[in-house]
């Protein structure tokens, strides 16, 4: 009945699809899924042959604070449309599919994990948006992987400005000290292996700030898993 009133359409093109949460074949073909070879540490795909376990130049020069980061899609015009339709247009009909994609792309970081930690929103932004897209993704990944979600382990302690348009250094300054583990969560984080969940990995500034907060709370190992990631070197991001 709902499909009769609101016919399902692709979040990319708006073309009719057979069911909610589906893409047309043409839309799906526009997506660029990340596959090996990629950096062992940050998951950025290499555009040249590389041996397994190799780290990219930025990670070799400055090792990230997380153990491993993995992403499903290259962040480009198509995946940007998916991410923005979720975050700003409330298109949650694709979330179940995203969860399956993320569970497959992040299989190695999910194995042995104790909990999924969604990157939190500031309460004021959560009120205006009405949902946290990272939590929705974490719940979808949990349904496929069986790794539980700890939605209240991490808090955003101050509202930060938008990261859009900032350089890598400005992004890092913008979120520095903006996250901390909740006091009642520290006991269950100590010694655990955790997987941060977010929608887009751009420079890694937000992920890094969250990892530091979790490690201060006693986490033994923190990985990251996102729906999409920018693949340009961090030094060139604007």
Going from the N-terminus, what domains does the chain have, and what CATH number goes with each?
56-236 (3.40.50)
> Has residue 235 got a pLDDT over 60?
no
Report the alpha-carbon distance of residue 56 to residue 29 in Å, rounded.
27
Least confident of 72-81, 118-127, 146-155: 118-127
Give pLDDT, residue 55. Answer: 96
Q: State the pTM of this model.
A: 0.91
Give pLDDT, residue 48. Answer: 87
Q: What is the pLDDT of residues 4-14, one digit of tens each?
A: 567 899 999 99
Give pLDDT, residue 171. Answer: 67
Q: What is the pLDDT of residues 176-213, one digit of tens each?
A: 778 999 999 999 999 999 999 999 999 999 999 999 99
- Tokens at residue 68, please? 């491993």
Q: Give mean pLDDT, residues 89-102.
A: 94
Least confident of 54-63, 127-136, 142-151: 127-136
Q: What is the pLDDT of residues 22-79, one digit of tens each?
A: 999 999 999 999 999 999 999 999 988 888 889 999 999 999 999 999 999 999 999 9
Q: Which residue has the higher pLDDT, 146 or 171?
A: 146
Tell me: cis bond preceding 127? Omega within 30 of 0 counts. Answer: no
Give pLDDT, residue 126. Answer: 82
Label residues 39-73 b or e (16+ Cβ within 10 Å = b).
bbbbbbbeeeebeeeebbebbeeeebbbbbbbbbb
Q: Which residue has the higher pLDDT, 130 or 224?
A: 224
Q: Which residue has the higher pLDDT, 232 or 26?
A: 26
Nearest Cα to Cα of residue 231 among 38, 15, 28, 25: 38
Q: Tell me the angle at which helices 77-87 and 95-105 cross, rounded to the nearest 10 degrees.
A: 120
């Amino acid at each position: 009945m709902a499909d009769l009133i609101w016919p399902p359409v692709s979040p990319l093109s708006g073309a009719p699809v057979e069911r909610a949460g589906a893409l047309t074949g043409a839309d799906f073909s526009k997506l660029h899924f990340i596959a090996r070879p990629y950096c062992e540490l940050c998951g950025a795909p290499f555009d040249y042959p590389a041996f397994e376990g190799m780290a990219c130049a930025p990670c070799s020069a400055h090792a990230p604070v997380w153990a491993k980061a993995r992403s499903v899609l290259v962040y480009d015009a198509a995946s940007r449309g998916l991410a923005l339709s979720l975050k700003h247009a409330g298109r949650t009909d694709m979330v179940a599919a995203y969860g399956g994609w993320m569970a497959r792309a992040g299989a190695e970081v999910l194995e042995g994990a104790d909990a999924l930690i969604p990157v939190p929103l500031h309460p004021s932004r959560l009120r205006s948006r009405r949902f946290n897209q990272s939590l929705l993704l974490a719940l979808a990944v949990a349904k496929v992987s069986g790794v539980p979600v700890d939605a209240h382990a991490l808090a955003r302690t101050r509202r930060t400005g938008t990261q859009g348009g900032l350089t890598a250094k400005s992004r890092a300054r913008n979120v520095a000290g903006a996250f901390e583990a909740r006091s009642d969560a520290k006991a269950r984080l100590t010694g655990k292996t955790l997987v941060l969940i977010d929608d887009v990995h751009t420079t890694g500034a937000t992920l890094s700030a969250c990892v530091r907060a979790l490690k201060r709370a006693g986490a033994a190992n923190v990985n990251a898993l996102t729906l999409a990631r920018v693949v340009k070197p961090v030094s060139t991001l604007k």
